Amino acid sequence: MVDGTQVNIARAILAHFRADVPRSTFVEPDSHTLILWVVDGLGWALFEQALERGLLPHYRRHPGTRQRWQSVYPTTTAAGLASLAFAAPPAIHGALGYSVYVPEWDDRVNLLSGEDSRGERVPEDMVYPRVVPTLFQRLAEIGIPSAVVSPAAYRQSGFTRWLYAGATYVGYDLSHPLAAVDAVTIVLDHGHRFVWLYWPYIDQISHVAGPFSRATDQALSLWDTAYGTALHRWRTHKPALLVTADHGGAALNPRRAILRAAPHIAPLWVHRWAGERRAITTEIDPDEVRTRLEGIATVYDQQHLWNEGCYGGPPVSPTWQERTLRTLIVPPTEVQFQQDGIMEASTVQGGHGGWTDDERYIPLICKSW
């Protein structure tokens, strides 16, 4: 059963703290405190398989109710986290890909780093316009203090400032994952009633080793250990706990990568383009791209996708549609484009950004004490 996207989760969190709107059906109504644990890359299929294979003993002993939900499109960290942070779809907040074309800068810009194709930092007001208030700002307006617990290394990025405006940011050492659980305990002790915990480890490993690999199994076991520890350390506050993800992940076969220098692909890179290894956007006309990539990838007219509500509605800003350019190219299952500015295709075993069930579907786990 699919009940909604990250947008619905964020709106339910806001509603939980407000007396003038109906309460969510999945958040414990009497909970004074709420924790949202965002596990990057935790797809529904990945979680369910881990549970069936006995990799999550702490969760199995203390399960929450769980449902299959779905990520917004595109299935990227930028879009998923922003949809949670703004309680709005990409059509409103503008995080429309891992990288987007920014017309004011006339270049492709990586939304996580804020840098263009040359590695230059782009002015933040161009990349991260504040179209709507964050969830944290809206909670502050009604007197609910909130905190974000996330790696200290991410504290100074423009993306972090954009997403978490209005929250107290508490950083933890990436090399000590369980420090995140301790940090949440501290902010709960200080009276924060809403806490967002960001957990990057599963996504980091699954990109390199693949989502259904032994290394990712270990990352899942690490999360399970943290879950068990958290239930013990947070119990005195008796918060409502929601666990979800920004997106899932697809297993990729490096031998099937669409090489950057292939004759039918090479012309794409001399035109404006953006996106990532599982979804490329280009300024080239859709019909021309279809002619070049027939039988190789699926080609979509971006105007049609906007009209169909793929990005969550009509663009709230006149430049949002320009960010997605004219054409979207999505390769088949297990296939990736070689070029995305992070790693060569020969080293990448997992990715996201496309339409497959493994990329789209995520869990929503609800746990109360």
Three-state SS annotation for 66-129: EEEEECCCCCCHHHHHHHHHHCCCHHHHCCCCCEEEECCCCEEEECCCCEECCCCECCHHHHCC
Whether 186 is covered by a domain: the verdict is yes
Co-location of 78 and 175 in the same domain? yes
CB atoms within 10 A of CB 80: 28
Co-location of 85 and 233 in the same domain? yes
Residues 8-35 have a mean pLDDT of: 84
Per-residue model confidence (pLDDT) at position 344:
72
Confidence of residue 338 (pLDDT cuts 50, 70, 90): confident
Per-residue model confidence (pLDDT) at position 1:
42
Q: How many Å apart are CA 274 and CA 252, to the nearest integer? A: 20
Domain that holds residue 298: 254-348
Which is more confident, 25 or 79? 79
Co-location of 275 and 239 in the same domain? no
Per-residue model confidence (pLDDT) at position 222:
98
CB atoms within 10 A of CB 81: 27
Confidence of residue 19 (pLDDT cuts 50, 70, 90): low
Q: Which two tokens stand for residue 160?
A: 């972090």
Co-location of 343 and 204 in the same domain? no
Confidence of residue 305 (pLDDT cuts 50, 70, 90): very high
Co-location of 37 and 157 in the same domain? yes
Co-location of 66 and 195 in the same domain? yes
User: Which amino acid is present at 304?
Assistant: H
List the CATH number of the domain containing 161. 3.40.720.10
Whether 111 is covered by a domain: the verdict is no
Q: Check: CB of residue 281 under 8 Å from CB of residue 275.
A: yes
Whether 217 is covered by a domain: the verdict is yes
Contacts of 189 (CB under 8 A, 6+ apart): none
Largest CA distance in the chain: 62
- Give the number of domains in the chain: 2
Whether 109 is covered by a domain: the verdict is no
Q: How many Å apart are CA 98 and CA 15, to the nearest integer? A: 29
Per-residue model confidence (pLDDT) at position 28:
78
pLDDT at 341 over 60: no
Query: What are the tens digits of pLDDT across the range 117-142?
Result: 999 999 999 999 999 999 999 999 99
Per-residue model confidence (pLDDT) at position 40:
98
The two beta strands, 107-110 and 350-351, are: unpaired
Q: Which two tokens stand for residue 249?
A: 């992940």
* 327-330 β-sheet, strand order: 273-276, 279-282, 327-330, 298-301
Confidence of residue 202 (pLDDT cuts 50, 70, 90): very high
List the CATH number of the domain containing 260. 3.30.1360
Per-residue model confidence (pLDDT) at position 25:
72
Whether 327 is covered by a domain: the verdict is yes
Question: Which has the closest alpha carbon to 323: 267, 269, 274, 270?
Answer: 274
Co-location of 195 and 241 in the same domain? yes
Q: 171-184 burial, b if ≥16 CB within 10 A, otherwise e?
A: bbebeebebbbebb
Per-residue model confidence (pLDDT) at position 77:
98
Whether 273 is covered by a domain: the verdict is yes
Whether 73 is covered by a domain: the verdict is yes
Co-location of 170 and 286 in the same domain? no
Whether 324 is covered by a domain: the verdict is yes
The SS3 of residue 55 is coil
Using a pLDDT cut of 90, give the percent of the chain over it: 88
pLDDT at 345 over 90: no
Q: Check: CB of residue 311 under 8 Å from CB of residue 94.
A: no
Which is more confident, 25 or 48? 48
Per-residue model confidence (pLDDT) at position 347:
77
Co-location of 166 and 297 in the same domain? no
Strand locations in 92-249 (E): 99-102, 107-110, 146-151, 168-172, 194-199, 240-244
Which is more confident, 267 or 332? 332
Q: Which two tokens stand for residue 1?
A: 């059963």
Co-location of 287 and 141 in the same domain? no
Co-location of 72 and 212 in the same domain? yes
Co-location of 44 and 61 in the same domain? yes
CB atoms within 10 A of CB 51: 18
Confidence of residue 339 (pLDDT cuts 50, 70, 90): low
